[in-house]
Amino acid sequence: MILFPNCKINLGLHVTRKREDSYHDIESIFYPVPLNDILEVVPSNSFEHHFYGLPIPGEAAKNLCVKAYDLLKKDFPDLPSIKFFLYKNIPAGAGLGGGSSDGSCMLQLLNEEFRLGLSTPQLIGYALQLGSDCPFFIINKPCFASGRGEILEPVKISLSPYSFFFIHPDIHIDTAWAFSQLTPSIPGKPLTEIIKQPMTTWKDELKNDFEKPVMEKFAELKPIKQKLYDAGAVYASMSGSGSTFFGIFEKNVAINVDMDKCYKTTFIK
């Protein structure tokens, strides 16, 4: 069985509070985008994993697909051994939630393939054990995210009339470091109000708190956002804690982003 885990972008991202459990509360609009990995699972006599495509940092045992299987195996001892193949197309550590999407898709795939009978709320509960933004990929619809990112409220927004242009610098941003650079604060205007406005107003009002510290540490990232606007983007931003930037463009517009470096780019119509 094969699924195609997609990524997400953040439309605005504010860190509002540091919690007593050392996590942070955030506010953001999570929006799914069809930039996909490929995840295939087949029954096997022993548990095996095979990774292809873009590099995945860290030990295989810490991969969220492996953790998802272990999580369900604990509660479903009869869950068969599997062999899974993960082709990475979404860059890791780039603020796009690719790893979280892979883990959540593994939960859904195992539930369907082996008829575990888990409901959506139950899958969300398992996903939260994998990571704060994993529950979003169970719902996989535009949501206003709060708390650690696990409190999700559907929002009515469609970017289907637009195209997306991604620029992926080969820079891995450590999420813990990024959070440590911020002073939490409550935004003056709710994100849910800003996204109802014409997109031309987003440039001045829809902000990502992580952009400033990330661009201060990695000076080579500073020009990227402006170059997207120079190329005609209606809105441009860094996603998550970085380092990927995206531009939202009117469809059927020729996009020519003049970059000084050979960063990986992806265009989604």
pLDDT tens digits, 184-204: 999 989 999 999 999 999 999
pTM above 0.85, yes or no: yes
Q: What is the pLDDT of residue 242?
A: 86
Strand-pair partners of 43: 82
Q: What is the pLDDT of residue 202?
A: 97
Q: Which among 56, 143, 138, 52 has a CA at the least distance from the CA of 101?
A: 138
Q: Where are the domains of the chain?
A: 2-154, 163-268
Q: What is the pLDDT of residue 92?
A: 86
CA 190/CA 140 separation, integer angstroms: 22
What are 90-99's pLDDT values in tens digits?
Answer: 988 889 999 9
- Catalytic center residues: 8, 133
Identify the segments of the chain with pLDDT beneath 50: none
For residue 83, what are its two tokens? 């062999």
CA 103/CA 99 separation, integer angstroms: 6
The topology (CATH level 3) of 2-154 is: Ribosomal Protein S5; domain 2 (3.30.230)
The yes/no answer on whether domain 163-268 falls in CATH 1.20.120.80 is no
In Å, how far from its chain's centre is CA 110?
A: 21
- % of the chain residues with pLDDT over 70: 100
Q: Which among 250, 259, 211, 229 has a CA at the least distance from the CA of 10?
A: 211
What are 250-259's pLDDT values in tens digits?
Answer: 998 888 888 7
Termini Cα distance of the chain: 27
Q: What is the pLDDT of residue 14?
A: 96
Q: What is the pLDDT of residue 190?
A: 95
